[in-house]
Structure 1
Amino acid sequence: MDTSRLLRTTGTVIAAAGLLLSGCTSGGSGTPRAAASSGGASEAPSAVPTAVPAALRTYYDQKLTWRECGVPGFECSTMRVPLDYENPGGGDIDIAVSRRKATDPAKRLGSLVVNPGGPGGSGIGYLQAYAGIGYPAPVRAAYDMVSFDPRGVDRSSPVECLNGPAMDKYTQVDQTPDTPAEQALLVAAFKEFAAACQAHSQRVLPHVSTVDAARDMDVLRAVLGDEKLNYVGASYGTFLGATYADLFPGRTGRLVLDGAMDPALSAVDLNRDQTAGFEAAFTAFAKDCAKQPDCPLGKGSPEQVGERLTEFLRKVDAQPVATGEADRPLGEALATTGVIEAMYDEGAWPQLREALKAAMDGDGAPLLALADSYYQREPDGKYANLMSANAAVNCLDQPPAFDGPKAVESALPSFEKASPVFGQGFAWASLNCTYWPTKATGKAKALAAKGAAPILVVGTTRDPATPYKWAQALGEQLESGTLLTYDGDGHTAYGRGSDCIDSAINRYLLEGTAPQDGKKC
């Protein structure tokens, strides 16, 4: 389970939108959706000059050529940006963009750029599958709905690492090693993944940081003809949006940051907090499961349900369950990833109960399907580049959480305290960036966005991937931050059934009026 800070919007909201934060590999990868690390390029200043530098003028002045594409009603284009903003003459990179025009031109307010998270989630996939048709009608009437695949993602010079068969093996690596030999196998898997990324994506690998993507977003704002950026970012997309606001506070319009990250936390603290977040989500699932007649983990307290799940995972670690695919039996890594996938959205809990029951009866296929959804593996064995891009961005944005296995062993007690169920796997998954070929260019720091217009920060109290306290922290850090709280389960809040949340966000987007700081729904 590759879960080293993989942040994404919930699967029910966007079937193929991407994860938010992570980038690990099974167990500390692919499981908790908290899987990736950091590594990067040169660190950018806290804010860029108000005027567009002469060396970048050609990018800001470019005209986009729109064409029909994919889904009826949507247009696509390609935007040029510098590969390296510190050396604009060193070559370009193409950024894929898509839009759906405002349905009521008379009410048009401009463009609304949306991002589903990840890092590594396809903005275009999210826009065309959900946001461009599923956002509230008044919002779609007033805005051109726009998104882009950030550099390194999907259609925008994607980071490429392991091929399908190699990824199949990678996702099965034991991420809760019990012996030195198993530790060595896990380290070898991380090294192989990193080496493959370097071999296939050497040119872009140093230039896919969140700062780079935020600067691309300002070019996009300009070529769309907008004086200020209006934006909705989910999960990791909140970090991208907050980074933009900190770099370009005077160009910040109406920003919604839903399922917020805390940019001041180190990689190890982010991963440990996310571990606790998934434990809280599992506790909610366990309480619900114990009330259901079909709960395969039995009755009792959440602790008892968790112990039974842990025992099941130990059994499939020792003896994987058949799935109908000879080279992909359901071992501990894939089983854990399947459980993690269902934690993103309480709507997936019935599916998880059925999958666990099937696995306990000898059929691992349903739980494997949940793991495949997490990794964005297609039926033909091909993977989206989500996990590759996720690791590439995270490993640039911050130094590694750990410098080697000894450091992980020292941290295990704190991770297991955060989550008796997932702690060990999340801790080992955090080793992912330790072997990354490109040195991190970013670091943890608070983002104030001094001088920005009011920014709406949204947090869900039992969010597994982006714990609620992160939203509280970001709301405090941002000089103009306003916190909106959803008391509920699942990852992110907008468009998930709360009229209170949706009405507050819609009013902000349409009228510019933020709810009172601290409003709860």
Structure 2
Amino acid sequence: MPFVGVTTSDNGREHVPFRKSSAVAMGAAALTLLLGACTGRAGGQADLAGADQDGQEPARSGLERFYGQQPAFKPCDPELPPGAPAVKAECARLKVPLDYQNPKGEQAEIALLRVPARGKKPIGSLVLNPGGPGFPGTDHAALTAAAWAKSPITERFDLVGFDPRGVGASKPELDCYTDAERDRGAKLSSIPAGIDDWTRQETRRLVEQCAARSGGKQVLAHVGTRDVARDVDVLRQALGDEKLSFAGTSYGTRLGAVYAEMFPKKVRAMVLDGAFDPLAGTRERRVQQSTGLQASFERMAASCATRQDCPLGTDSRRATRVFQKLVRPLIDKPARTSDGRGLAFEEAVEGVTAALYSKTTWPTAIAGIAELKAGNGDTLLKLRDTYHGRTADGVYPNSLEATLAINCLDEERHTPKQETALNRAAFKAAPFTDHGRPVKEARDGCEHWPVKPTLGYPYATGIEGLTDTLTVSVTGDAITPHEGGISLAKTLGGSLLTVEGEQHGALLAGNACVNKTVAAYLVDLRSPAEGTRCRL
């Protein structure tokens, strides 16, 4: 079932449902990105009420009552379930205007979770975002606190996670599909992994059902990154911080960069891990990502090829062709699974893609491919379910539905001709995902969204008055390629920490070198020397 909202119980505790997360699930929405936007720069968005270019809250904006909030943090209820991180968590909710141009209108409610600093002299709050877009930050704060249990960061900072507007336990909640529709392969990307492209009728139906289930078209119009950046500034003030300390992964780097663009003088410190390239438009970034995924698939295949029983064969140069021959028949005849659902082509590709987020999950994908050769799709289907956040009883979170809706406001919106060309380019760059059938006329799933995109490309350029930021970039990151991290650091005029490894993001990798460098930056504002590198 979809996440429920935060409500206050009779015992004074705050209800925030905890969701068991995983490294795969947290990064999964990055691959489902790239829906939306007109090609022109939407720079006028910075003029919306409540945000001007130098980061000051304009007088007489009507936002004073939001900036003046003091969230009442209370122990979270229900208590953390078995297996969840054993941390002291407090929950609250924050009110923000749904439309910052109309602060007296409808409001949104943002679910918050805070893990107080361990030390007696906290610096302030460290606001976290796990990525997506569309992934909840409340449980991410608890996971991060557990991962950094002995770090100077948790000693000196309150860790604060929030579910962005439309996501998780926040209200209103983005909801486009039922669980049954998700099981039947509901479309969540402008480039489906299967062979059926969006039709005009489907893109119209998408908007209507998303609006009907999410609270109206006005909700769909106000869930973009620029809206969330304004929410972050309200949160900063509500937490009592003069300036923002922030750590974001994957899509969180876009959110951080956009906040820095809109409120440059309100930034104290900003760690951006697994970067979105602010200079790359939708098409360029999608092809970059497809190229990165193919390279990661080939490295996985090369690792596998050292074994005589490798299901992709002992010649890694032929691995893509072997995989294609194995999965393309699933288009017409899904593989059997123990739960009776079957494994279709797109689910097999998503399962393998999920494993490419980290080298540590390569063996699971290889085992799944070996099973598939024997006609069994269970392991790859489980990987796909992890990618989507599906529970054993068939319940889906709204994360990937939120990804779709948010990207309809963030990404470049294509004509059918442009979308068809992009599909072909993506499959050419990542042939292990290619279904092998002609790409007909493709359509952008967001073509009938109620408003034009609000992000604009490029973004976060030419910022004045911004303190030094720290971009963390992994050399073998398949989801956000290393060149994007280099570009973000250069665009922001900040520092770069290069991490040699094979995974998406490095903040929670448990690496001593990364942990030490990030802690020195966040706590002491000490940036790493140029050329600093760590190895996972």
> Which one-letter code corresponds to 2:359 in the other structure?
E
Contact 1:82–1:93 at 8 Å: present in 2 too? yes
* TM-score normalised according to structure 1 size: 0.87
For residues 50-89 of structure 1, the aligned pairs below 5 Å read: 50-54=56-60, 55-69=62-76, 70-71=79-80, 73-89=88-104
Cross-structure match for 2:454: 441
**Which of 354, 371, 374 does residue 358 from structure 1 map onto?**
371
1:422 is the counterpart of 2:433: yes
Measure the CA separation in 2 of the matches of 1:134 and 1:167.
Answer: 32
Cα 1:43–1:321 shift into 2, 3 Å? same
1:403 is the counterpart of 2:415: yes
For residues 46-445 of structure 1, the aligned pairs below 5 Å read: 47=53, 49-54=55-60, 55-69=62-76, 70-71=79-80, 73-106=88-121, 108-128=122-142, 130-135=143-148, 137=150, 138-157=152-171, 158-171=173-186, 175=192, 182-183=196-197, 190-201=203-214, 202=216, 203-301=218-316, 303-326=317-340, 328-400=341-413, 402-404=414-416, 406-422=417-433, 431-445=444-458
Contact 2:68–2:238 at 8 Å: present in 1 too? yes
Cross-structure match for 1:26: none
Aligned residues: 488
Measure the CA separation in 2 of the matches of 1:376 and 1:429.
Answer: 27
Cross-structure match for 2:83: none
Two-structure CA RMSD over aligned residues (Å): 2.5
Cα 1:435–1:212 shift into 2, 3 Å? same
Measure the CA separation in 1 of the matches of 2:107 and 2:187.
Answer: 37
> Which one-letter code corresponds to 1:87 in the other structure?
N
Contact 1:97–1:148 at 8 Å: present in 2 too? yes
SS of residue matched to 2:499: strand
How far did residue 228 of structure 1 move?
Answer: 0.8
How far did residue 277 of structure 1 move?
Answer: 1.4
How far did residue 225 of structure 1 move?
Answer: 0.8
* TM-score normalised according to structure 2 size: 0.85
Cα 1:287–1:430 shift into 2, 3 Å? farther
Measure the CA separation in 2 of the matches of 1:253 and 1:13.
Answer: 29
Higher RCO (CA 8 Å, separation ≥ 6 residues): 1
Cα 1:352–1:154 shift into 2, 3 Å? same
Measure the CA separation in 2 of the matches of 1:433 and 1:51.
Answer: 32
Contact 2:24–2:357 at 8 Å: present in 1 too? no
Measure the CA separation in 1 of the matches of 2:442 and 2:397.
Answer: 20
How far did residue 127 of structure 1 move?
Answer: 1.4
> Which one-letter code corresponds to 1:349 in the other structure?
W
How far did residue 176 of structure 1 move?
Answer: 5.9
Cα 1:183–1:416 shift into 2, 3 Å? closer
SS of residue matched to 1:170: coil
Contact 2:269–2:469 at 8 Å: present in 1 too? yes
How far did residue 206 of structure 1 move?
Answer: 0.6
Cross-structure match for 1:475: 489
Cα 1:64–1:330 shift into 2, 3 Å? same
Q: Percent identity?
A: 33
Cross-structure match for 2:32: 34
Measure the CA separation in 2 of the matches of 1:176 and 1:113.
Answer: 34
Decide which moves more: 114-123 or 409-418. Answer: 409-418
Unaligned 5+ residue runs, structure 1?
Answer: 1-10, 22-32
Cα 1:444–1:495 shift into 2, 3 Å? same
Measure the CA separation in 1 of the matches of 2:94 and 2:177.
Answer: 27
Measure the CA separation in 1 of the matches of 2:362 and 2:447.
Answer: 34
SS of residue matched to 1:395: helix
Contact 2:34–2:282 at 8 Å: present in 1 too? no
SS of residue matched to 1:462: coil
Cα 1:337–1:20 shift into 2, 3 Å? closer
Contact 1:13–1:496 at 8 Å: present in 2 too? no
> Which one-letter code corresponds to 1:34 in the other structure?
T
Measure the CA separation in 1 of the matches of 2:193 and 2:513.
Answer: 41
Unaligned 5+ residue runs, structure 2?
Answer: 1-19, 81-86
Cα 1:344–1:191 shift into 2, 3 Å? farther
The structure whose residues are more often helix, as a share, is 1
**Which of 449, 456, 459 does residue 473 from structure 2 map onto?**
459
> Which one-letter code corresponds to 1:504 in the other structure?
T
SS of residue matched to 1:204: helix
Cα 1:443–1:109 shift into 2, 3 Å? same
> Which one-letter code corresponds to 1:295 in the other structure?
C
Deviations 1:110-165 (A, max 9, x none): 1111110000111002112x112112522111111111000010111220111000
Cα 1:478–1:295 shift into 2, 3 Å? same
Measure the CA separation in 2 of the matches of 1:210 and 1:465.
Answer: 19
How far did residue 293 of structure 1 move?
Answer: 4.6
Measure the CA separation in 1 of the matches of 2:333 and 2:445.
Answer: 26
Measure the CA separation in 1 of the matches of 2:322 and 2:447.
Answer: 33
How far did residue 506 of structure 1 move?
Answer: 1.5
Cα 1:176–1:244 shift into 2, 3 Å? closer
> Which one-letter code corresponds to 2:73 in the other structure?
W
Measure the CA separation in 2 of the matches of 1:430 and 1:344.
Answer: 28
Contact 2:474–2:500 at 8 Å: present in 1 too? yes
Measure the CA separation in 2 of the matches of 1:152 and 1:49.
Answer: 24
